[in-house]
Amino acid sequence: MDITAGPIKVKTIQKGKCAEATPPKAFSVEEVLKARHFHMSFDSYEATQLVNLRTLARALGVKSILVKDESTRFGLNAFKVLGGTFAIAQLICQKLGLDIAKVNFNYIKSEAKKQIGDVPFVTATDGNHGRGISWAARQLGQKCIVYLPKNTAKRRVEAIRETGGEAIVTELNYDDTVLLAQEKAKEVGGYLIQDTAWEGYTEIPTWIMQGYTTMAAEVVDQMALQGIRKPTHVFLQAGVGGMAAAITGYFVNRYGKDDAPKIIIVEPNEAACLFESAKADDGTCHTVEGNLNTIMVGLACGVPSPIAWDILKDFTDMFVSCDDTIAARGVRVLANPLADDEKIISGESGAVGIGLLSLMMRNEEFDNMRHALELDQDSVVLFFNTEGDTDPVNYGEILWDGKYRLPSNGEME
């Protein structure tokens, strides 16, 4: 299903859950509890807010719009630190022969130097993951080397250096920067802590994905406090797919395959590797090549994680590839709340889902898409704002200057 309205281009593929698939064991309720209890042992731990945008929900014709706001997570303006800290802790526990369920963060801090020495952590990032690894390394008294793709925003580089990491900007796109980080980790004898997987490298990416589930476990408790049993729809933005697959895997385990919410995966048109994998319809993941240019830099990935794809191919209801203008619209929607709704500061990657919903529910061009997903007045729609204004310059240009604005000739009115 292709939707075109002026310069806005949206492509969708409807799938539905695989009848033969079983919920992934790595994201069972028991495994998720291990990650959450570990994160709760941090002195600075605090559950991030689940914002209920009641007025916006009424305006768009759905029952509820819930936004898990990760912009305040550990003061780092993004969710990624959840995955990095859990993976590093699991690595240390593995060396000690311990179950992570039986230790806390302070114990890990006391043992890190003895078990790892001065060996650095190495990673590639578009910004948020690298900052999380750098922060975790500093907490443990370790070194961290972070490689970033070309044209990375200055503020994202500075944020990594502020947390103690060595930040090196390359002349490569994201996927090639990951390959470079692999080589450099071998050269310095460091530990590669990467949030995507490939053949022979799956354990650490799985730990990172498990770390992400802390925010989903928090959501379940927060919904219960608001009298909500579960969401009916979850919009999940995806780069390599790790976060999206982790949340999907947990919800399928938590609610059961038949009662799980509908999962909608959203990617940029220029980096839609999961969409293209679904389009191929051969059960394997496919890559997207090129510069991967998009304002959704956290999603600018052309090579999907195979362990993420194995989950998403079986439990996703719709894959969506969309225009940058939709992400910019989402940034503006969240920053300009209706009536008593709460303002949310969201980066482009974190806002694309809400931008898409706001178009789907108000424009006839999206009627078929809306009906296919059964989005109506009974729908409880959940989003994860995975980042704040991690690039303040671009954020300001979107809000103040109308950068990447929707067409003004009436097509979408």
What are the pLDDT digits (tens) for 180-212? 999 999 999 999 999 999 999 999 999 999 999
Global confidence as pTM:
0.95
What are the pLDDT digits (tens) for 371-380? 999 999 999 9
All domains of the chain, ordered by start, with CATH? 2-78+205-400 (3.40.50.1100), 81-194 (3.40.50.1100)
Provide CB contacts within 8 A for 24, sequence distance 6+.
249, 252, 253, 310, 311
Compute the average pLDDT of residues 291-309.
95
Confidence class for position 408, pLDDT limits 50, 70, 90: low
What are the pLDDT digits (tens) for 209-261? 999 999 999 999 999 999 999 999 999 999 999 999 999 999 999 999 999 99
- Angle (deg, nearest 10), helices 29-40 and 81-96: 100
Check residue 283 and give its pLDDT: 93
* Rounded distance between C-alpha atoms, residue 238 and residue 230, angstroms: 22
List Cα–Cα distances, 52 to 67, 78, 118, 359, in angstroms. Answer: 7, 19, 45, 19
Residue 63 designated active-site:
no
For 91-139, give the DSSP string.
HHHHHHT--GGG--HHHHHHHHHHHHTTPPEEEE-SSHHHHHHHHHHHH
Residue 257 designated active-site:
no
* Rounded distance between C-alpha atoms, residue 181 and residue 169, angstroms: 11
DSSP 140: T
Which is the catalytic residue, given 34, 68, 80, 313? 80
- Residue in this structure with the two tokens 């980790």, named with its chain if needed: 185
Angle at 168 between CA 167 and CA 174, to 5 degrees: 105
Could you give the residue ranges of the DSSP H alpha helices within 264-361? 273-280, 306-315, 324-335, 348-360
151 φ/ψ sector (left φ>0, alpha ψ -120 to 50, else beta): left
Provide CB contacts within 8 A for 235, sequence distance 6+.
264, 266, 353, 354, 356, 357, 381, 382, 383
* Rounded distance between C-alpha atoms, residue 297 and residue 399, angstroms: 18
DSSP 239: S
Mapped onto helix, strand or coil, the DSSP state of residue 32 is helix
Find, among 349, 384, 386, 385, the residue nearest to 263 by Cα.
384
Check residue 114 and give its pLDDT: 82
Confidence class for position 9, pLDDT limits 50, 70, 90: confident
Check residue 412 and give its pLDDT: 40
Which is the catalytic residue, given 11, 69, 126, 313? 126
